[in-house]
Amino acid sequence: MKNPFLPEKIKILEVIPETSIDYTYVLALDKEVKPGQFFQLSVPGAGEAPISVSDFEDGKLCVTIRKVGRLTNALFALGPGDFLFARGPYGNGFDYRDFAGADLKVIAGGTGLAPVKKLIKTFAGSDSVSSLEVLLGFKTPEDILYGDEVRAWVQSGVATLTVDKADDNWEGNRGLITGYLKNLDLSDRARCKCIVVGPPIMIKFVTAELLLLKVAEDNIWVSLERKMSCGIGKCGHCKIGDAYVCLEGPVFKFSEARRLLD
């Protein structure tokens, strides 16, 4: 009998500081995986937590981790050549076929960018979507993740970037992400599909605004965050209504997500 709780030992190849509290780890982890899926990462003795895949290529896989507690503190003490433990991937992830031919809008707040980074990269350079617009919001300029890539997206016109607050040195957009939704080209309602990822409060306001802008709830996707202990439908922490976020999610159509009452 296979034991799904046993993690694999994985080597850290590189650590890229994104902000003072968010680091990207490049891992020697070669698994078939989709954006939006997650791994249960752990450090022996420090704990285990769900962490989204942010990128993958050539047998390497990236995760971007925010230092918030016991496990993530322990992870921050690790460097290239060290090992961590992983099991997964878990969850449904984004299905690229859902977005074929769409006017795709990706709206990401803060660390919500991590689970859709690879998806943005894929669609930015492909004609499988009809068009792509990305709207990114961070608290301050210091909180911006993947600086080089984000700047390139902004320069090429794919992305709009805004920060909630900044000092006078910041020349870009300011204000909450919701304020920029009306700038999105939502004219072809039938073809327009939106992905919304970020903290719960951001998802709440952005989806409400999109509905007001007449985007159909079947054309909005969200990625939900819940406490997770197992990732495989056993521990019960992630259950909402009749759905388990680790099994049927974390990616849900909004029409489905709004039916799930906490």
Partner 1 sequence: MGYQLSREQFDSFLARLQEEYRVFGPAVDVDGGALADTDRITYKEVRCLGDLELNRKSYFSPKEIFYPVRETLFRFCQGDTTEPQIDGKKTAIFLRPCDINGIDRLDAIFLKNGPLEDFYYKRRRDKVRFFLIECTTGFDSCFCVSMNANRTELFDVALRFGDEILADVKSPEFEPYFAGLAQKPFEVRFIEKNSKEVRLPGVADITPDLFEHELWKEYSARCIACGRCNTSCITCSCFTMQDVSLGAENQMGERRRIWAGCHVNGFADIAGGHGYRQQKGDRMRFKTMHKIYDYYLRFGKHQCVGCGRCDDVCPQYISFAGCINKVSDVAAER
Ligand X SMILES: Cc1cc2nc3c(=O)[nH]c(=O)nc-3n(C[C@H](O)[C@H](O)[C@H](O)COP(=O)(O)OP(=O)(O)OC[C@H]3O[C@@H](n4cnc5c(N)ncnc54)[C@H](O)[C@@H]3O)c2cc1C
3-state secondary structure of 100: coil
Q: Tell me which of 89, 91, 109, 231 binds ligand FES, using CB under 6 A.
A: 231
Q: Across the strands, what pairs with 261?
A: none
**Gyration radius (Cα) of the chain, Å:** 18
Does 230 interact with ligand FES (rule: CB under 6 A)? yes
> Considering beta carbons, is residue 1 or 201 the nearer one to ligand X?
201
Does 47 interact with ligand X (rule: CB under 6 A)? yes
44 binds, among partner 1, ligand FES, ligand X, none (CB under 5 to 8 A by kind): partner 1
Cβ pair 150, 240 in contact under 8 A: no
Q: How many residues bind ligand X (CB under 6 A)?
A: 21
Does 71 interact with ligand X (rule: CB under 6 A)? yes
Cβ pair 172, 161 in contact under 8 A: yes
Does 16 interact with ligand X (rule: CB under 6 A)? no
Stretch that binds ligand FES, among 129-137, 167-175, 176-184, 236-244 (CB under 6 A): 236-244
Cβ pair 25, 15 in contact under 8 A: yes
Q: Across the strands, what pairs with 66?
A: 22
CB of 228 to ligand FES, least distance (A): 3
Q: Across the strands, what pairs with 58?
A: none
Does 235 interact with ligand FES (rule: CB under 6 A)? yes
Whole-number Å distance between alpha carbons of 183 and 23: 31
Whole-number Å distance between alpha carbons of 193 and 188: 10
51 Cβ neighbours under 8 A, 6+ residues apart:
38, 39, 40, 41, 63, 65
Cβ pair 245, 228 in contact under 8 A: yes
Q: Tell me which of 76, 233, 243, 248 binds ligand FES, using CB under 6 A.
A: 233
CB of 210 to ligand FES, least distance (A): 27
User: Interface with ligand FES by CB under 6 A: which residues?
Assistant: 228-231, 233-238, 244, 246
User: Interface with ligand X by CB under 6 A: which residues?
Assistant: 38, 47, 49-52, 63-66, 68-72, 111, 114, 225-226, 228, 250
